[in-house]
A and B are shown apart, each in its own frame.
Chain A
Amino acid sequence: MNIKTYITNWMQKMIIDYPWICFKYEYSSKRKIHYIGVYPQTEVETNEAYCKDENLFAIDLESKYPEQIVLFGSDESFYKFTDNANCFSGCLDKTNVNFYELNEELNAFLYDMDAISKVIEKSSNNPDYPLALAA
């Protein structure tokens, strides 16, 4: 089995065991390095069961593919994944969305709701305030 398939199979198993996890995987042919991003950072770094699984998998990889370099990371500066990166998530159907992007969408949504609330409040305080603006 080639290493890409081996890594992919492992990630697919992990998202079943840990449905909250998102993976990004990309092989850089220029650097000859396999990059595996694991998110969200805080949850990953504090989950003992997941950390143990990843530690054991890293040992397994070094044993099976000693010539290959596989890097795991969770911080933003770890590696700039391109749009070609493969994404795996246990809780999302959209394969190209990770938790960070999801949170951004959620924050934007809350911000919009806040703005709308203010406009509605203004309109209710002032009967002359054009309701069209609130819409």
Chain B
Amino acid sequence: MPKIEVKSLENLKAAQKLIDCGMYTTSVHCSYYSSFFSMKHFLNKHPHNSINYIDQDNYNNAGSHIFIYQQVYERVLHDSTYARKFRTEYQILKADRRRADYSDEQFTAEESLVSIQRSKNIQYTLNEIIKKL
């Protein structure tokens, strides 16, 4: 299994473990990164229009997340319903991650579980799109 995919899975497991420990706000951070790594993996393994990890890392600056998101979004737009699912779930999770990391807000167990579900939804959507290509 590619290391990025392992990182994605580990972050998802970490998100659940942090909830089990009562660290709900920190868990959201892991849920977000789990989906982010799965997006990088999606770009790397895209059968017709891939971007390898080295080229992805060339955008390893403040705008790297925006770059990865935009590249993935362009590759899923042909399927309107999946594209909407991906966009809405990612944007909500990204905003939640920002609140979790930078604001003084505390997340509840329920909110953190929803973040895990959003991360899973993103990964499911990307997997389904890859299957159809």
Contacts and interface: CB of A to CB of B under 8 A. Distances in A.
Interface of A: 31, 33, 45-49, 51-52, 54-55, 58, 69, 71-74, 77-78
Nearest to A33: B95
Given A45-B85, A71-B92, A78-B92, A51 B99 contact: no
A74 B81 CA distance: 13
Contacts of B92: 71, 73, 78
Interface of B: 77, 80-81, 83-85, 87-88, 91-92, 95, 99, 103, 110-111, 114
A54 B84 contact: yes
Given A48-B80, A77-B111, A69 B95 contact: yes
B99 A31 contact: yes
Chain B interface, >50% SS class: helix
A55 B83 contact: yes
Contacts of B85: 45
Contacts of B80: 48-49, 51-52, 55
Contacts of A58: 87
Contact of B81 (A31, A33, A46): A46
Contacts of A47: 81
Contacts of A49: 80
A69 B85 CA distance: 17
Given A46-B81, A51-B80, A73 B95 contact: no
Contact of A55 (B77, B99, B103, B114): B77
A78 B91 CA distance: 11
B14 to A, nearest CB: 21
Given A54-B84, A58-B87, 8 more contacts: A33-B95, A45-B81, A47-B81, A51-B83, A69-B95, A71-B88, A72-B88, A74-B88
Contact of A71 (B77, B83, B95, B114): B95
